[in-house]
Structure formats: structure tokens, C-alpha cells
């Protein structure tokens, strides 16, 4: 019998209204683990080349990992994936909460949704059974009200939900999937896939957790990490993310006015410390996690903000705050809540509004186009209004709901110069002009710019360097370096981050790399090694790369936006920028380290070494020749 997982996949065809259960072999789980690995496998196997991501031919996967839902800190996560409506390539996002644990307890390891329903639908799963239900009366509801209605209909207020809001229904490419009201699979436009399938959400209830192979060993590991967390005086449990935004100003790492400027004037007005002191009413957590890093905020004036929608994390504080030049914390909290209500990615929305603000100041977007909204940087009311318009796809929000890349292409008149994205996905709130390896990671990421499966150069010290000894990295590397030694570190760290997305465990819990092995073996009873797990990450990245090649991406798309090759206008990075030749060399070197050819195509030997020789057949042709060598 399997330990830690159920050995069952729920496949739902919404077109034919057929639900069936599949049972992958144990070796499939050990090869892909779940999460991001399972998503890459199924997209490549099941989504034909050339499919529109918003058509019934795309699939949606909701995939915990083999150890998701086991009782240890960090296990409360799942991945959501499909061909991205935002980039047109590999799409994947991750969320925390309790939903994934409930799915495992209900008897399933993942859900694959095919086709599209003729009318709005939702999926109810309970203890090994599943049914498609009519969501006509739920369509148009905000996320919290929808959850209330679903729970009322099934008669269980403990049912866990994964939902879309109005943004997903209206196919905004910035739409996301919301777990448990405030845990968000934010990136890649996954909410738009759900909307295109007319799937309002998935509610689940389960009472039979998968057995763990070695409960005592797992309890010992869980206690050890709790002891480590309790020994730290401050940190995520105290403030959540975003407590050190003043340091971001000092180093130039706090994006300001669409990544144009440096030295944001009021970081202490919008950071996590200010959130705690002014509006925070509690801290939430994910299943079995001792970190408790999730803010809950509540306001009555000047905006009404409900605590059940959570509160702004660092990415949101920066995206809706400093990147838009906004120093009004109440407005940021309201903008965050609106994103939760409508089901929107706060990073993508904030970055797109910042882009629109610069276009407005440059005369590309006019007052007439905004509907008389003064869209200058720093206008907090305008920021909040644009979040609402994007969520409803009204007025200029209809254009901005397409994301920065498409909005810039439609606007023309030089707007592309202000579009800060990679492969169509907006850049998160970390500065590649400071963190050079992070910039490399933005460039080569299969999902477009992403800070989670990435390395943060400024964090390469202390415990982070100790962890890297597992890969033979024994000496520190200069912050400003992007030579071979830094590319090597990027490769190792990013692979471990991808691994956590396959395991579906949290990066915020300070597990060592060797403890990933211990956790996996304790839960599943396997005898895996760190080397085997690194291969899972490499395998996942190779499959994701092939998906992007089939989608038309080339090595030219593994690049940064124009803004990053010029310095900030002021502040710590006013004389510093990404050097194109240095980045090109780093990308080429990364390809070589990965076993990919100079065009970024995985070589035949690499595919064999990763036990996926079948993936060769999915590479696109170039005339009579294969792209593979």
C-alpha cells in the first residue's frame, strides 16, 4: 500500500460530465512527486501543440505532492497548473492553506479537469466520491460569498474550497485561484483557465488521512523544526513578510514607480510593522504549520476591509505600494482585499497598474482613456479604483486585465519600453539590478519572471551557504558576481526550490536539503536520496522547457525587460544596471550546466539521463530537422 498518498487521480471531463478515477503506478509518484512535476508531465502528455490556453483543449491540474497534508510544518501546499493564459507557455502557481490536506484526506492525490462545461459548474468531493454541481447561482459571486453558499449547500461548514472570483469568470489573464479565501495560487493566470471551463470552484471534505510510513520519525522531525522556530525572537511569525522594506530602500531592492526609481520615500508607512501596529487583528497559518506567517487585517475607515480575506504580504505591499508610488497603507489593504474578492494576482495587478501609471505620465494613456481617473504615481484612490476595474473588466480595466505585455502591445506608441515582464509575466518585487542571479532566474524561468523558484543573492550567507555544502559549494560568492560560480549556485538553489514545488512544501519553513530526504522517506517509506530528488527538479525543468519550445518560445525569450539594462533614476542603484553581455554569458552557461544545447533545447543524452527519453517526441520540428541534438 502507498504511504503519504492515495495512489488515485480524479479526472473530470466537464464537456461530457464524466468523472473517473485513475491509479498511477508507484514509480510515477517517485519520478514526478506531484505538484509542479505532475503538472509538467500532464501538460506535455495531454495538451496538443497550438492549443489556445482558454479553450477546452487545455487542462487544469490541482496537484498536492506526495507528502502534502502530512502533519509537519510546511506541508500545507498544492500547485495549480495548465498552459498559461498569461504567457502561452508552461503555467504553474502554488498556494497554501488547508484545501490540499482535505483533498488527500478525501482519497485523491490530484485533480485533472478537461473540457469545458456548457453552464457554470462546481465540483464537490467527499470521502472518495465526486460530483459535478450546478453553479449558475454562484456565478458572479465574490469569493467569500461563494464559499458560504457552497458550504450551506453541502451542509458542512468545514468544507475547504478552491475558487475563482469575477476576474476568473471574465477570463482576466491576471486571475488566480483562491484556497480558503486568503491562500492564493497567484501567478500564470490559472483563474482564467477555471473561468474558461466555467468551473467556479472545487469544494472538498475528507475524513481519512493517508497513513504515514514512520510516524515516530516524522514526529521527531516536526518537533525539531518547531524548536528551531521557537528559538528565533522575531521573523515571519511576528510580522509575516515585509518587515524590512527600509532595507530594500537602502540597497535599491524595493521596486519604486514601475522599477524606474530608487529610494521610496515612505517605506515605514507601508511595511509589515506598520500593518501590525495599525490594522492587523491576527495571524493565520496553513495546515500543521508553526510559522503562522499569514496576516489578517480589518478596517472600517477610510475603507471597509474584512479580516477573512487575510492581509497584504510583502509582494502586495510593494506591488500596490512602492511600485505604484503609493504610501497609503489603508489603500493597499483595500487593494489587497479587492484582489482576494475578485480573484486576482496582486503582483500582476500592482505591476500592471504601475505600468499604466507610467504610460499616463508619458501621455500614452490619456485622461479620456482612464474615465477621468488621474493615474499619476502616488494616487492611492486611483490604484484602488483600477483594482476594481481590472476585477470587473470595466473601462480601462478591460485592457489592463490582459496583463502588461498585451496591454503594451495594444497601446503601442512606445509603451513596450515600460512593460516590465518576462515571457508575459510581470516581474515580482525583487530587483535584478541588485540580485544578478535572481535576474538570471527571472530570465530562464519557465513560467516567466518568478521569485519563488529562484535564488536571492543577498541571502547567500549564513545558513543558506551551509545548506549549499550539500552540493559542494564551500566558498561564498560576491553579491555582484554573475560568473560561473554564481550560475552554479543559482542552478542548485533553483532546483531545490522547484523540488519544494514538486513536493508541495513551503519555502518559509527552514528545513535543510537533507531533511527533505528525511521527510519524504519518513512519510512514504521510500529510500530516496538528495541526488534522486535533484533529478526530479531537473526532470521537471526539462519538461517545462519543452512545453515552452512547443509554444513558440526560443532562447531570445530567456531575457529581461529593457528597464533592467538601465540604472534606477535615483538611490542605491542609480549607477548600476544589468549588463547584457554578462547576462547572455550566464544564460548560455546555465544551458550548458543543464545539459541543454545553445538554443536551450534539452539534449538527447540529457533526456535519457533524466529517464524521460519519451519527451523527445514532443519537441517541435524545424523544417526537416529536429530541434534536439
Residue 625: predicted pLDDT: 38
Domain ranges of the chain: 9-205, 233-426, 436-626
CA nearest 612: which of 526, 531, 545, 517?
A: 545
Residue appearing with cell numbers 479565501: 181
From the number of C-beta atoms within 10 Å of its C-beta (0-12, 13-18, 19+), residue 466 rates as exposed
Instruction: Using a pLDDT cut of 90, give the percent of the chain over it.
Output: 96
- pLDDT tens for each residue of 548-580: 999 999 999 999 999 999 999 999 999 999 999
Among 3.30.1360.120, 2.40.37.10, 3.40.50.9100, 3.60.9.10, name the CATH number for the domain at 9-205.
3.60.9.10
Q: Are 368 and 267 in contact (CB under 8 A)?
A: no
Question: Which of 23-32, 223-232, 295-304, 435-444 has the lowest average pLDDT?
Answer: 223-232
Task: Report d(CA 603, CA 594) in Å as an integer.
Answer: 9
Counting every residue written for the chain, the total comes to 629
Task: Please give the torsion angle defined by the CA atoms of residues 332, 334, 337 and 338, in that order, rounded to the nearest 10 degrees.
Answer: -110
Q: What does CATH list as the number for 233-426?
A: 1.10.569.10
Cis peptide before 302 (omega within 30 of 0): yes
Instruction: Using a pLDDT cut of 70, give the percent of the chain over it.
Output: 98
309: which DSSP letter? G
- Return the C-alpha cell found at 456: 536571492
- 231 band by pLDDT with thresholds 50, 70 and 90: confident
Residue 627 scores a pLDDT above 60:
no
Residue 626 scores a pLDDT above 50:
no
Task: Report d(CA 582, CA 436) in Å as an integer.
Answer: 10
Question: Which of 141-145, 416-420, 619-623 has the lowest average pLDDT?
Answer: 619-623
- 628 band by pLDDT with thresholds 50, 70 and 90: very low
Cα 558 to chain centroid distance, Å, stands at 18
- 629 band by pLDDT with thresholds 50, 70 and 90: very low
- For residue 410, the surrounding DSSP H or E stretch is helix 404-411
115's torsion region: left (phi>0), alpha (psi -120 to 50) or beta? Answer: left
Count of C-beta atoms within a 10 Å radius of residue 228: 14
- pLDDT tens for each residue of 532-544: 999 999 999 999 9
Residue 1: predicted pLDDT: 74
CA nearest 605: which of 573, 579, 586, 628?
A: 628
Q: Are 505 and 74 in contact (CB under 8 A)?
A: yes
Residue 275 scores a pLDDT above 50:
yes
Q: Are 352 and 375 in contact (CB under 8 A)?
A: no
Name 90's bridge partners: 83
Task: Report d(CA 437, CA 133) in Å as an integer.
Answer: 47
Q: Are 375 and 360 in contact (CB under 8 A)?
A: yes
Residue 622: predicted pLDDT: 56
Task: Report d(CA 331, CA 320) in Å as an integer.
Answer: 9
Task: Report d(CA 397, CA 316) in Å as an integer.
Answer: 19
318: which DSSP letter? I
- pLDDT tens for each residue of 507-534: 999 999 999 999 999 999 999 999 999 9
**Nearest-10 crossing angle of helices 580-594, 484-503:** 60
Among 3.30.390.30, 1.10.599.10, 3.30.70.360, 3.90.960.10, name the CATH number for the domain at 436-626.
1.10.599.10
- For residue 389, the surrounding DSSP H or E stretch is helix 380-392
Amino acid at each position: 500500500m502507498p504511504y503519504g498518498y492515495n495512489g488515485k487521480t480524479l479526472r473530470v471531463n466537464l464537456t461530457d460530465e464524466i468523472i473517473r478515477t485513475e491509479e498511477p503506478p508507484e514509480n510515477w509518484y517517485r519520478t514526478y512527486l506531484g505538484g509542479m512535476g505532475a503538472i509538467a508531465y500532464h501538460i506535455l502528455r495531454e495538451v496538443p501543440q497550438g492549443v489556445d490556453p482558454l479553450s477546452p483543449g487545455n487542462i487544469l491540474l490541482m496537484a498536492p505532492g506526495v507528502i502534502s497534508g502530512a502533519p509537519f510544518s510546511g506541508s500545507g501546499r498544492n500547485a495549480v497548473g495548465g498552459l498559461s493564459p498569461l504567457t502561452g507557455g508552461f503555467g504553474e502557481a502554488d498556494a497554501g492553506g488547508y484545501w490540499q490536506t482535505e483533498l488527500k484526506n478525501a482519497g485523491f492525490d490530484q485533480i485533472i479537469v478537461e473540457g469545458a462545461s456548457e453552464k457554470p459548474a462546481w465540483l464537490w468531493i467527499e470521502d472518495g466520491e465526486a460530483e459535478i454541481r450546478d453553479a449558475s447561482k454562484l456565478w458572479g459571486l465574490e469569493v467569500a460569498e461563494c464559499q458560504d453558499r457552497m458550504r450551506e449547500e453541502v451542509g458542512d461548514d468545514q468544507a475547504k474550497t478552491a475558487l475563482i472570483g469575477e476576474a476568473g469568470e471574465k477570463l482576466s489573464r491576471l486571475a488566480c485561484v483562491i484556497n480558503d479565501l486568503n491562500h492564493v495560487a497567484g501567478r500564470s493566470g490559472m483563474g482564467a483557465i477555471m473561468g474558461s471551463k466555467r468551473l467556479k470552484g472545487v469544494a472538498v471534505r475528507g475524513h481519512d488521512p493517508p497513513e504515514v510510513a514512520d510516524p515516530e520519525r516524522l514526529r521527531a522531525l516536526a518537533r525539531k523544526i518547531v524548536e528551531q522556530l521557537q528559538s528565533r525572537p522575531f521573523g515571519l511569525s511576528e510580522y509575516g513578510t515585509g518587515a524590512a522594506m527600509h532595507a530594500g530602500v537602502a540597497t535599491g531592492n524595493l521596486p519604486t514607480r514601475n522599477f524606474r526609481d530608487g529610494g521610496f520615500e515612505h517605506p515605514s508607512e507601508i511595511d509589515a510593522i506598520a500593518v501590525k501596529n495599525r490594522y492587523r487583528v491576527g495571524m493565520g497559518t496553513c495546515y500543521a504549520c508553526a510559522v503562522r506567517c499569514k496576516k489578517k487585517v480589518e478596517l472600517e475607515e477610510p475603507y471597509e476591509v474584512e479580516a477573512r480575506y487575510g492581509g497584504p504580504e510583502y509582494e502586495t505591499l510593494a506591488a500596490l505600494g512602492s511600485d505604484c508610488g503609493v504610501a497609503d497603507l489603508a489603500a493597499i489593504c483595500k487593494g489587497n482585499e479587492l484582489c482576494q474578492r475578485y480573484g486576482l494576482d496582486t503582483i500582476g495587478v500592482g505591476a500592471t497598474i504601475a505600468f499604466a501609471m507610467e504610460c499616463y505620465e508619458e501621455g500614452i494613456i490619456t485622461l479620456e482613456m482612464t474615465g477621468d481617473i488621474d493615474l499619476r504615481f502616488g494616487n492611492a484612490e486611483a490604484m484602488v479604483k483600477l483594482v476594481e476595474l481590472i476585477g470587473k473588466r470595466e473601462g480601462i480595466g478591460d485592457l489592463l486585465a490582459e496583463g502588461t505585455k498585451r496591454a503594451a502591445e495594444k497601446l503601442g506608441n512606445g509603451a513596450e519600453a515600460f512593460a516590465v515582464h518576462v515571457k508575459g509575466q510581470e516581474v515580482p518585487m525583487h530587483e535584478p539590478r541588485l540580485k544578478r542571479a535572481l535576474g538570471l532566474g527571472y530570465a530562464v524561468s519557465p513560467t516567466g519572471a518568478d521569485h519563488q523558484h529562484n535564488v536571492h543573492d543577498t541571502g547567500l550567507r549564513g545558513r543558506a551557504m551551509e545548506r549549499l555544502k550539500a552540493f559542494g559549494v564551500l566558498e561564498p560568492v560576491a553579491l555582484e558576481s554573475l560568473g560561473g560560480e554564481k550560475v552554479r549556485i543559482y542552478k542548485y538553489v533553483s532546483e531545490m526550490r522547484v523540488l519544494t514545488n514538486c513536493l508541495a512544501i513551503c519555502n518559509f519553513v527552514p528545513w535543510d536539503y537533507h531533511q527533505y530526504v528525511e521527510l519524504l522517506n519518513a512519510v512514504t517509506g521510500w529510500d530516496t536520496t538528495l541526488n534522486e530528488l535533484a533529478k526530479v527538479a531537473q526532470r521537471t525543468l526539462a519538461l517545462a522547457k519543452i512545453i515552452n519550445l512547443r509554444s513558440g518560445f526560443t532562447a531570445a525569450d530567456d531575457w529581461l525587460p529593457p528597464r533592467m539594462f538601465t540604472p534606477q533614476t535615483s538611490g542605491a542603484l542609480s549607477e548600476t544596471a544589468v549588463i547584457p553581455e554578462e547576462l547572455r554569458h550566464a544564460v548560455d552557461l546555465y544551458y550548458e550546466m543543464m545539459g541543454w544545447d545553445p538554443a536551450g533545447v534539452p539534449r538527447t543524452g540529457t533526456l535519457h539521463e533524466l529517464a524521460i527519453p519519451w519527451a523527445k517526441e514532443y519537441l517541435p520540428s524545424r523544417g526537416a530537422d529536429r530541434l534536439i541534438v
